[in-house]
Amino acid sequence: MARSYIKIYGPPIAKAIRALENVAVEFSKITTIRHYNILTPPPQYFTSQTDVSGYSQMLLPDIEMPVDEKIKLISKASDTLGEYDFFFEWGREPTKQQVLELIAKIDEALSDCGCRYTIVTK
C-alpha cells in the first residue's frame, strides 16, 4: 500500500499534526474513482466456439467502459515516530493528480501554522 509521509519543520508541530488530521478526515471522504475498464466483447459477438477461444485475433475491438469505483482514497492516516511526523495511507496506488490534490490540501491546512513540510510518497 502506498503512503505519503510528511516531515514537519518548525513550530508549532502539534498544531500542524492536528491540521493534518483534519486533512485526512476531509480527504478520506472522497470515495469515487473514475477509470476506464477495457472489456472483451461478450460471447454473442462471436460466430463459433473457435472464435471465442481465439478472440484476440478477432476484428472486433475491445470496448472501453467508464467505471465509477467506490473506494476510499485515504484508508488510514496517523502521526508517527521516527523519520516522519505523519503519514497518509492510500486506498490504492495514487495518481500524480491525486498526490497533487493532497499537497494542495496540506498547503492550505498548514498555511495558518507557519511551518514548512516535505512529502514523500512511496
* Residue 57 pLDDT exceeds 50: no
The C-alpha cell that represents 48 in the structure block: 463459433
Find out whether 115 and 10 touch, Cβ atoms under 8 Å. yes
Close Cβ partners of 35 (under 8 Å, ≥ 6 residues apart): 66, 67, 69
- 66/101 same-domain check: no
Query: pLDDT tens, 63-120?
Result: 555 555 555 677 777 777 789 999 999 988 898 999 999 999 999 999 989 899 999 9
Question: Do 91 and 55 share a domain, yes or no?
Answer: no
Higher pLDDT, 54 or 22: 22
- pLDDT per position as a tens digit, 15-43: 999 999 999 888 877 655 454 555 544 55
What average pLDDT does this structure show over 7-16?
A: 91
The one-letter code for the residue type at 98 is: Q
Asked whether residue 97 falls in the same domain as residue 110, the answer is yes
Do residue 107 and residue 78 come from a single domain? yes
User: Are residues 24 and 52 located together in one domain of the fold?
Assistant: no
pTM exceeds 0.75, yes or no: no
Q: Domain range spanning residue 4?
A: 1-8+19-31+72-122
Q: Are residues 76 and 97 in the same domain?
A: yes
pLDDT of residue 52: 46
The CA radius of gyration of the chain, in Å to the nearest whole number, is 22
CA distance 26 to 65: 29
Is residue 25 located within the same domain as residue 80?
yes
Looking at the structure, tell me whether residues 25 and 41 fall in a common domain: no
| pLDDT for 56 beyond 50 | no
CA of 101: how far to CAs of 39, 43, 69, 107, in Å?
30, 41, 19, 10
